[in-house]
């Protein structure tokens, strides 16, 4: 077991690919998990990363198959649990599509980490485990002590926030019961340069906005974050012994209207809709929304650069013209 050997679940995804890339850049040996080793859309972009030939091993896993996770994690001293289904619409069977893989999958990963003698696990949660939280005081910025309202999610069939909230709560219960060192990151709307061949849900939101979609994302939005920042923050939380608890990871807490207005300002050639100024009633804006990460010395990419890097990537890959 090398002190530089780590496992990244969901290694082929938008966040996972960036995390694998930056870990390889730092000399880590990485076990990256994929759903299908025979699918080039999951493997080819990872195998093309610098350092992959010598320091990357790919493992095929199923989050509900404990043995497959144990095989992937074995030999690692650290785990980044990124894998979790991200389906905001078209949910036909929430238990099967979202809840079981997120909740049971997280427990399986943590059990395998514990059995393998892993020193620290960084769990990728989401701001969807912080909002929607309709009972939070509207004059107080949402911080790490704010939790998504589970009953509200059930009543409104908001299955993705429910899956992320329940999975994170389960992770904290497991850590408390077993003593496993767990630290959590709660990213906002993750955007920026795309490494995998497929576009993720957050970048699809930007495409829809450019096409004139007027959906306001009231229950899902707290602000954008550059994908490279998310990956770097994962590594910071893994490497910094003083990091503990949950960590909101957004450039700033903003309303969706703030984001849309900036996109319209930077790219007036697109028909970006105008939104009411307060698209998220009860969400207090905050420039230091990620205060815990800032206090650890983290510096965030600006909103303008997040948008520009995202647009350049979408154009280069042919998603927009």
Confidence of residue 2 (pLDDT cuts 50, 70, 90): low
Task: Give yes or no for residue 229 having a pLDDT over 90.
Answer: yes
The pLDDT tens digits for 121-166 are: 999 999 999 999 999 999 999 999 999 999 999 999 999 999 999 9
* 178 inside domain: yes
Q: Three-state SS for 59?
A: strand
Q: Is 314 inside a domain boundary?
A: no
Q: Is residue 129 part of a domain?
A: yes
- Name the domain count of the chain: 1
Dihedral of the CA atoms 303, 288, 213, 305 (nearest 10)?
A: 10
DSSP string spanning 163-206?
Answer: HHHHHHHHHHHHHHHH---EEEEEE-EEES---SSSPPHHHHHH
- Average pLDDT in the 49-71 region? 97
- What is the structure's pLDDT at 91? 66
Would you state the pLDDT for residue 220? 85
Q: Average pLDDT in the 50-69 region?
A: 97
Give the CATH number of the domain where residue 134 resides. Answer: 3.40.50.720
Catalytic residues: 164
- pLDDT digits over 169-225, tens only? 999 999 999 999 999 999 999 999 999 998 988 999 999 999 999 998 888 899 999
Average pLDDT of every residue of the chain: 95
Percent of the chain with pLDDT over 70: 97
Q: What is the pLDDT of residue 84?
A: 79
**In terms of Cα–Cα distance, which of 55, 59, 53 is closest to 5?**
55
Domain hosting residue 89, numbered range? 5-190+225-251+285-300
How far apart are alpha carbons 101 and 241 in whole angstroms? 29
* Residue 246 resides in a domain: yes
Q: What is the CA radius of gyration of the chain?
A: 19
Please check whether residue 215 lies inside any domain of the structure. no
pLDDT of residue 245: 98
Which tokens belong to 300? 């965030």
Asked whether residue 313 is domain-assigned, the answer is no
Residue 125 falls inside a structural domain: yes
Q: What is the pTM of this model?
A: 0.96
- Over residues 56-74, the mean pLDDT reads 97
Residue among 290, 3, 18, 269 nearest 130 (CA): 290
pLDDT value for 204: 93
Q: Is residue 317 part of a domain?
A: no
Structure confidence at residue 3 (pLDDT): 72
Contact 229, 300 (CB under 8 A): yes
């Amino acid at each position: 077991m090398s002190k530089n050997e780590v496992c990244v679940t969901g290694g082929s995804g938008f966040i996972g690919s960036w995390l694998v890339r930056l870990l390889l850049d730092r000399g880590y040996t990485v076990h990256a998990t994929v759903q299908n080793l025979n699918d080039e859309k999951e493997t080819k972009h990872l195998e093309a990363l610098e350092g992959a030939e010598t320091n990357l091993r790919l493992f095929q896993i199923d989050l509900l198959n404990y043995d497959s996770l144990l095989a992937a994690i074995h030999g690692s001293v650290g785990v980044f649990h990124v894998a979790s289904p991200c389906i905001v619409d078209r949910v036909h069977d929430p238990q099967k599509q979202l809840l079981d893989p997120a909740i049971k999958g997280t427990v399986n990963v943590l059990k395998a980490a514990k059995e393998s003698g892993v020193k620290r696990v960084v769990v990728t949660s989401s701001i969807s485990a912080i909002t929607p939280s309709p009972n939070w005081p509207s004059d107080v910025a949402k911080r790490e002590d704010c939790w998504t309202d589970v009953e509200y999610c059930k009543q409104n069939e908001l299955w993705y926030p429910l899956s992320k909230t329940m999975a994170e709560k389960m992770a904290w219960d497991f850590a408390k019961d077993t003593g496993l060192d767990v630290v959590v990151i709660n990213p906002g709307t993750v955007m920026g340069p795309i490494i995998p061949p497929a576009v993720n849900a957050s970048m699809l939101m930007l495409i829809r906005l450019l096409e004139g979609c007027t959906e306001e994302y009231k229950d899902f939005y707290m602000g954008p974050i550059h994908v490279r920042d998310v990956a770097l923050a994962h590594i910071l939380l893994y490497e910094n012994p003083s990091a503990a608890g949950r960590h909101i990871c957004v450039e700033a807490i903003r309303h969706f209207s703030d984001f849309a207005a900036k996109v319209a300002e930077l790219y007036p050639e697109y028909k970006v809709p105008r939104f009411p100024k307060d698209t998220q009633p009860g969400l207090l804006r905050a420039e230091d929304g990620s205060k815990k990460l800032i206090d650890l010395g983290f510096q965030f990419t600006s909103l303008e650069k997040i948008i520009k890097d995202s647009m350049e990537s979408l154009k280069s890959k042919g998603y927009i013209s």
